[in-house]
Amino acid sequence: MVRAGLEPAVTGARVIHVTVLDERSLRRHDGPSEDFIHRLAGRTFEVPQRRGKFMWLPLVGSPEAVVTHLGMSGQVLLRPRGVDDPLTRIKLEIEHPVLGDLTLNFVDQRIFGSMAIDELIDAGHDQTVPTAVAHIARDPLDPFFDEKLFFAKLAKRNTGIKRALLDQGLISGIGNIYADESLWYSRIHYETPTAVLTLPRKRLLLAEIRSVLNRALAEGGTSFDEQYKNVNGNSGYFEHSLQAYGQQGKPCPRCGRPIVREQFMNRGSHFCPFCQRRPKVAD
């Protein structure tokens, strides 16, 4: 949602001025804030790209890009020139050939996110990615996502399916919310071992993952608080379409039995015990 919202406003825009208000948001940048400012001022952005929680703005005429990681609470907000936001850590004043003067405010409450200038490397299919993003797998909406490779890697994993879906080295773009939703639609329990999933069930799961992600994008994402908003500061409304996540105690939309929440990896897993049967443990 962030990438799509920024694309018309930053593509072809030139950086006029850079202000670093909190150097902690440059923790991934190889150099001091002065280096970041000097290397970025006067540069022009190409079409923004993204993978997982990383988004990058390639720089025209250079094998480099401005890489943004949103962390837990990071936001990139598009504002008219001179409009500030509370908790802004880095501010980029830009000039677009059609839209005129604009400001990109990198806002981050917890300061887990960051911005950096990074080198672009080959990623195949005539694509490049920053070195910091090379370990992140393609997401299932990527036109070059390799289904056969994904299914083969799943079969070799000795872990539960939800843990695998959250592994950014295997597949990206699926957070806790969308994992729970996709597993509910697929009628698969989150602890089901990856090795026992048949090819038809894996195909069904991938289809449901894509369906959930596409619907979430169409509805602007899922906004539970002030940190999950688009570039204009507007909330998404996919929260109202959730079938399992956050619905503990409510009737399952499919069978009417209560949705259950269990602790999982310092977070929660939401599922229907009837529709998503727990896998049997071998004696």
Helical H segments across 77-198, by residue range = 147-156, 161-165, 176-186
Contacts of 136 (CB under 8 A, 6+ apart): 51, 52, 54, 129, 168, 169, 172
pLDDT given for residue 281 in this prediction: 63
pLDDT given for residue 59 in this prediction: 98
Beta bridge partners of 235: 229
Side chain identity at 191, as an amino acid letter?
Answer: E
Tell me the pLDDT tens digit for each residue of 25-84: 999 999 999 999 999 999 999 999 999 889 999 999 999 999 999 888 889 999 999 899
CB 165 within 8 A of CB 137: no
Residue spans per domain, the chain: 2-133, 147-271
Residue 2 binned pLDDT confidence (cut-offs 50, 70, 90):
confident
Tell me the pLDDT tens digit for each residue of 215-227: 988 886 544 344 4
Q: Is 175 helix (H, G, I), strand (E, B) or coil?
A: coil
CB 184 within 8 A of CB 276: yes
User: And the tokens for 216?
Assistant: 């979430």
- What's the average model confidence in pLDDT over 165-172? 96
pLDDT given for residue 238 in this prediction: 60
Residue 260 binned pLDDT confidence (cut-offs 50, 70, 90):
very high
pLDDT given for residue 148 in this prediction: 95
User: And the tokens for 8?
Assistant: 């018309």
CA distances to 73, 88, 129, 222 from 113, in Å: 7, 12, 18, 19
Tell me the pLDDT tens digit for each residue of 83-135: 999 999 999 999 999 999 999 999 999 999 999 999 999 999 989 999 999 99
Q: How many other β-carbons are positioned within 10 Å of the β-carbon of residue 168?
A: 16
Q: Is 191 helix (H, G, I), strand (E, B) or coil?
A: coil
pLDDT given for residue 166 in this prediction: 96
User: And the tokens for 183?
Assistant: 């597993």
Burial of 201 (0-12, 13-18, 19+ CB in 10 A): middle
Domain 2-133 fold: N-terminal domain of MutM-like DNA repair proteins (3.20.190)
What letter would DSSP give residue 279? P
pLDDT given for residue 232 in this prediction: 57
Q: Which of 104-113, 122-131, 162-171, 231-240 has the lowest mean pLDDT?
A: 231-240
The model's pTM is 0.86
Pick the CATH number of 147-271 from 1.10.8.50, 3.50.30.60, 3.40.50.800, 2.40.30.10: 1.10.8.50
